[in-house]
Amino acid sequence: MNTLHRIDGHLHLEDVALDSLAERFGTPLYVYSRAALEAACRAYANAFAATPHLICYAVKANSSLAILNLFARLGTGFDIVSGGELARVLAAGGDPGKVVFSGVGKSAAEMRAALEAGILCFNVESESELHRLSRVAGELGRTAPVSLRVNPDVDARTHPYISTGLRQNKFGVPIAQAHALYRLAASLPHLAIVGIDCHIGSQLTDLSPLADAADRVLALVDALAADGIALDHIDLGGGIGIRYRDETPPDLAAYGRVLAQKFMGRRETLLLEPGRSLVGNAGLLLTRVEYLKPGEEKNFAIVDAAMNDLMRPALYEAFHEIVAVNERNMPARRYDVVGPICETGDFIGFARDLTIEEGDLLAILSAGAYGMSMASNYNSRPRAAEALIDKNKIHLIRERETLVTMMVGERLID
């Protein structure tokens, strides 16, 4: 995170000292840098400048309204996977004409909402979904714009839970069956074929699976064209990884050059659905050390953030760098950094060398993606607040959930 730096030993995001934020809003607190969010957007615009393209930010990575609004103002489109995400995009001022709707289980109600909003495209994932979408569009007297999400059967070489492009995954239609399904789609009365889509996985650190998937998709697009089925866009999904620890994420400019070459002379617009690479390194989670607990085998730093706030370590054994917010002049000790939740899986990081005392603040880095958007109320913990920093300006973009709002909608029985 290059907007993160120290001044006299105190960690700052842009021009704001993180300890002042913790004083003001409490912890755990998600904190984002506007400059980092905008820089990530610009990096995509620059990398793909040679190819007519549209970036559709994958809302699931971080669906906070202020962040969606910031991206909408920069002209991005959005990749949604639910009616809830559609509502968020619209509430944040996103352009529905730049929205693609992915996901294997779209309900009829979600389809109706998206048709009424006038989205750019449904990324359809099965034959049954084609039939349902045509019926729902017909009932509304509309035509639904569709892509088929094809599963190119390439190994994205990432964590199995976030790999999606293999034959055994639930996503998309097998690429070998896609041509026949395009013919079916062309025959259905209330569908208009506009594109093709694929997404092979997340946190990819290697470009070659992405390039292989693109080649397979482009070959299919050419076969479709020869059959009279012309497309307006080719959506190659998201998946570009970021650096959490020592990964070497793919170079966006290199990806841009690879695709520019493949798209040269083609008529279709390129769509991409990045999530993590737009927000992941623009955010951190600020937490306070409640207790230091020396153990027989190891020392624990028990902090006030837990797996309900940041689920990635518990769910994927994901690594997030953890640093002390204020430096101290004493030797470091090795700690397992854990939350207050009552299960052993509630950890943020193992064996971290930290110079800390009880009451100190820690910053859990690279937490902008799949942090707040995956937060829950487990152990009846109100969800964290979120702040967005813009140079020396501080915006509280989400209030801390209260005990009252946490229980809204619940009823006792008679």
Active site amino acids? 342
Least distance to ligand LLP, CB of residue 195, Å: 14
| Burial label, 200 (beta-carbon count in 10 A; 0-12, 13-18, 19+) | buried
Enter the DSSP assignment of 171.
S
Please pick, from the candidates 274, 339, 349, 368, the single residue that binds ligand LLP as defined by CB under 6 A.
274
Which one of 26-34, 211-219, 269-277, 391-399 is the stretch in contact with ligand LLP (CB under 6 A)? 269-277
Q: Report how far Cα 321 is from the mean position of its chain's Cα atoms.
A: 19
Structure tokens at 40: 């990530």
Asked whether the CA dihedral 267, 100, 120, 40 is positive or negative, the reply is: negative
Q: Which 313-332 positions form the footprint of ligand LLP (CB under 6 A)?
A: 316
Size of the site for ligand LLP (CB under 6 A): 20
Least distance to ligand LLP, CB of residue 99, Å: 13
Q: Report how far Cα 190 is from the mean position of its chain's Cα atoms.
A: 31
Please pick, from the candidates 47, 61, 173, 303, the single residue that binds ligand LLP as defined by CB under 6 A.
61
Q: How far is residue 75's CA from residue 280's CA, in Å, rounded to a whole number?
A: 20
Bridge partners (DSSP) of residue 363 are 286, 323
User: Is there binding between residue 162 and ligand LLP (CB under 6 A)?
Assistant: yes
**274 or 283: whose CB is closer to ligand LLP?**
274
**122 or 370: whose CB is closer to ligand LLP?**
370
Backbone dihedral region for residue 241 (phi beyond 0: left; psi -120 to 50: alpha; all else: beta): beta
Structure tokens at 260: 């520019």
Please pick, from the candidates 312, 320, 381, 398, the single residue that binds ligand LLP as defined by CB under 6 A.
312
**76 or 325: whose CB is closer to ligand LLP?**
76
Least distance to ligand LLP, CB of residue 158, Å: 9
SS3 of 313, please? helix
Least distance to ligand LLP, CB of residue 20, Å: 29
Bridge partners (DSSP) of residue 11 are 6
Q: Are 76 and 386 in contact (CB under 8 A)?
A: no
Please pick, from the candidates 239, 250, 283, 368, the single residue that binds ligand LLP as defined by CB under 6 A.
239
Please pick, from the candidates 203, 287, 308, 366, the single residue that binds ligand LLP as defined by CB under 6 A.
203
User: Is there binding between residue 58 and ligand LLP (CB under 6 A)?
Assistant: yes
How many Cβ atoms from other residues are within 10 Å of residue 211's Cβ?
Answer: 16
Q: Which 330-389 positions form the footprint of ligand LLP (CB under 6 A)?
A: 370
Least distance to ligand LLP, CB of residue 413, Å: 36
Please pick, from the candidates 85, 268, 273, 336, the single residue that binds ligand LLP as defined by CB under 6 A.
273
Bridge partners (DSSP) of residue 283 are 32
Q: How far is residue 199's CA from residue 274's CA, in Å, rounded to a whole number?
A: 10
Q: How far is residue 349's CA from residue 345's CA, in Å, rounded to a whole number?
A: 11
Please pick, from the candidates 12, 262, 276, 288, the single residue that binds ligand LLP as defined by CB under 6 A.
276
Which one of 27-35, 86-94, 112-120, 272-280 is the stretch in contact with ligand LLP (CB under 6 A)? 272-280
User: Is there binding between residue 104 and ligand LLP (CB under 6 A)?
Assistant: no
Least distance to ligand LLP, CB of residue 102, Å: 4
Which one of 177-185, 197-205, 356-364, 401-409 is the stretch in contact with ligand LLP (CB under 6 A)? 197-205
**134 or 373: whose CB is closer to ligand LLP?**
373
Of the candidates 167, 270, 259, 251, the residue with the CA atom closest to the CA atom of residue 204:
251
SS3 of 209, please? helix
User: Is there binding between residue 102 and ligand LLP (CB under 6 A)?
Assistant: yes
Written as one string, the DSSP assignment of 53-107 is EEEEEEGGG---HHHHHHHHHTT-EEEE-SHHHHHHHHHTT--GGGEEE--S---
User: Is there binding between residue 151 and ligand LLP (CB under 6 A)?
Assistant: no
User: Is there binding between residue 79 and ligand LLP (CB under 6 A)?
Assistant: yes
Enter the DSSP assignment of 385.
E
> Any residues with CB less than 8 A from the CB of 273 and at least 6 apart, and which?
56, 57, 58, 79, 100, 102, 199, 235, 237, 238
Of the candidates 280, 281, 285, the residue with the CA atom closest to the CA atom of residue 26:
285
Please pick, from the candidates 28, 152, 237, 368, the single residue that binds ligand LLP as defined by CB under 6 A.
237
User: Is there binding between residue 199 and ligand LLP (CB under 6 A)?
Assistant: yes
Structure tokens at 335: 């700690």
**86 or 354: whose CB is closer to ligand LLP?**
86
Q: Which residues contact ligand LLP by CB under 6 A?
A: 58, 61, 79, 102, 162, 199, 202-203, 237-240, 273-277, 312, 316, 370
